[in-house]
Amino acid sequence: MPHYQAWEEFTRAAEKLYLADPMKVRVVLKYRHSDGNLCIKVTDDVACLLYRTDQAQDVKKIEKFHSQLMRLMVAKESRSAAMETD
């Protein structure tokens, strides 16, 4: 279970993992206020990628990445729905 130190590497590996099998991959985000840190994990039940941080600047990156994955997951639907802004 590799712990990633470089955010870039983590996102690249995580996205690759997700695109390989979108149905199996899940993303877990764990926040501990008492410890003051944030941990994000991406796994397909075979491989597992982990990234931990205690830096405020990473929160934005992690949250953006999380949103990206969310978008990927809902993106398969007919394009017209995604194009329309209601």
Partner 1 sequence: QFLTELTRLFQKCRTSGSVFITLKKYDGRTKPVPRKGHVESFEPADNKCLLRATDGKRKISTVVSSKEVNKFQMAYSNLLRANMDGLKKKDKKSKNKKSKATQ
Rounded Cα distance between 46 and 81, Å, is 33
Provide, rounded to whole angstroms, the least separation between the CB of residue 5 and partner 1.
Answer: 15
Rank residues 2 and 59 by Cβ distance to partner 1 and give the closer one.
59
Place of tokens 């979108």: 22
Q: CA-CA distance, 73 to 6, in Å (whole number)?
A: 24
The binding site for partner 1 (CB under 8 A) comprises: 22-23, 25-34, 36-38, 53-60, 63-64, 66-67, 69-71, 73-77, 81-82, 85-86
Q: Nearest-CA neighbor of 40 among 68, 81, 80?
A: 68
CB of 10 to partner 1, least distance (A): 15
Q: Measured from the CB of residue 60, what is the shortest distance to partner 1 in angstroms?
A: 6
